[in-house]
């Protein structure tokens, strides 16, 4: 039997503490490389348990305007896949399990096995692949297995029971449940589709389930934490950097929002 990954160990700990894990997303290279690393460090200081490092991509079909704007700025600033690996290394150095969130095309261009090897060498824990399904992921399943990386696939409210079971079986670390139909972004209220989706997943897997898309404040985090193993926050954290004049002010805002969200994690 393989030893538990750092993500497995995280969920063992949060379950023992009777709380959900807080997962925070920020894109590498936004607003610049140095500030993106400082913001991730601030996120972890504020209480984020697991870091998602976004790989900026020119055609982010599933992302809303906030994350698109951040990715565009990172790309204009010259952020490359090798820079993303450097950000992962800095994030992993904080002690927080760190995964990359990326569309599949940049991984293919970089080289699948090369990407897995470099990610593992940087201390990365795995990969979230929003546009790659398990039945099309043979090469990634082989590469991630060879380099000891978790593979986190997505399910949606529209997924059939059969696909939920297949996706959960192929996933490791946790299963990513997208709680809304549509692109990423903050919402006034959390989705009513999320609890039944998680309930359906519980019938086919005992793996942890993280719920993402739409959470932006403590009350929403507390609501989602009541029925999931992890609360995933992206656009609200990115907006902290997007809405500020200076990098240091944005980094402070990221830390404060992370702290506020973490306070909502206890059940």
pLDDT of amino acid 62: 75
User: How far is Cα 35 from Cα 17, in angstroms, rounded to an integer?
Assistant: 32
- Does residue 1 form part of some domain? no
Q: How many CB atoms lie within 10 A of CB 32?
A: 15
pTM metric for this prediction? 0.93
Q: What would the pLDDT profile of 71-116 be if each residue is shown by its tens digit?
A: 999 999 999 999 999 999 999 999 999 999 999 999 999 999 999 9
- Identified catalytic residue from 8, 41, 49, 63: 63
Q: Stretch 221-242: mean pLDDT, rounded? A: 95
3-state SS, 154-186, equals EECCCCCHHHHHHHHHHCCCCEEEECCCCCCCC
Q: Is 206 a catalytic residue?
A: no
Whole domain around residue 209: which residue ranges? Answer: 6-263
Q: How confident is the model at residue 191 (pLDDT cuts 50, 70, 90)?
A: low
Q: Are 143 and 127 in contact (CB under 8 A)?
A: no
The rounded mean pLDDT for the chain is 92
Q: According to the model, what pLDDT value does residue 181 have?
A: 46
Residue 135 DSSP code: G
Task: Select from 130, 133, 77 the least CA-distant residue to 106.
Answer: 130
63 tagged catalytic: yes
Rounded to whole angstroms, how far apart are CA atoms 192 and 233? 17
Supply the pLDDT for residue 193.
86
Helices (H), the chain: 6-16, 33-46, 65-76, 81-92, 104-110, 112-121, 138-146, 161-170, 194-202, 218-225, 235-242, 247-263
CA distance 258 to 139: 35
From 52, 83, 118, 229, active-site residue = 52
Number of Cβ atoms within 10 Å of the Cβ of 227: 17
196-206: burial string, b at 16+ Cβ within 10 Å, e else: ebbebbeebbe
3-state secondary structure of 142: helix
If one counts the domains in the chain, the total is 1
Strand order in the sheet with 98-101: 150-152, 126-128, 98-101, 50-54, 21-27, 230-233, 209-212, 175-178, 154-155
Answer yes or no: is 244 within a domain. yes
Query: Does the structure show a pLDDT above 70 at 180?
Result: no
Whole-number pLDDT of residue 114: 98
Separation CA 76–CA 207 (nearest Å):
38
Cβ-count burial 50-89 (b if 16+ within 10 Å, e if not):
bbbbbbbbeebeebbebbbebbbbbbeeebbbebbbebbb
**In a domain? residue 228:** yes
Q: Residue 22: enclosing H or E segment and its boundaries? A: strand 21-27
- As beta bridge partners, residue 175 has 209
pLDDT digits (tens, 9 = 90+) for 10-63: 999 999 999 999 999 999 999 999 999 999 999 999 999 999 999 999 876 677
Look up the CATH number of the domain holding residue 190. 3.20.20.70
Residue 157 is assigned to a structural domain of this protein:
yes
């Amino acid at each position: 039997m393989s030893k538990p990954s750092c993500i497995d160990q995280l969920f063992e700990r949060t379950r023992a503490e009777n709380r959900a894990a807080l997962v925070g997303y920020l894109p590498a290279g936004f607003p610049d490389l140095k500030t993106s690393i400082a913001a991730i460090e601030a996120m972890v200081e504020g209480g984020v348990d697991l870091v998602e490092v976004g790989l900026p991509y020119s055609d982010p079909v599933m992302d809303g305007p906030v994350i698109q704007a951040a990715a565009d700025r990172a790309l204009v600033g010259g952020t490359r896949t090798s820079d993303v690996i450097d950000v992962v290394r800095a994030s992993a150095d904080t002690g927080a399990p760190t995964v990359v969130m990326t569309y599949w095309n940049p991984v293919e261009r970089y080289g699948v096995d090369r990407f897995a090897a470099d990610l593992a060498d940087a201390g990365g824990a795995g990969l979230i692949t929003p546009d790659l399904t398990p039945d099309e992921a043979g090469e990634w399943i082989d590469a991630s297995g060879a380099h000891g990386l978790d593979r986190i696939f997505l399910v949606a409210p529209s997924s059939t029971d059969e696909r939920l079971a297949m996706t959960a079986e192929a996933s490791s670390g946790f299963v990513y449940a997208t709680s809304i139909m549509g692109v990423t972004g903050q919402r006034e209220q959390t989705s009513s589709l999320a609890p039944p989706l998680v309930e359906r997943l519980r019938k086919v897997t005992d793996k942890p389930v993280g719920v993402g898309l739409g959470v932006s404040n403590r009350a929403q985090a507390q609501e989602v934490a009541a029925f999931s193993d992890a609360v995933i926050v992206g656009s609200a954290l990115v907006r902290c950097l997007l809405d500020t004049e200076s990098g240091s002010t944005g980094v402070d805002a990221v830390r404060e929002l992370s702290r506020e969200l973490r306070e909502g994690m206890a059940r």
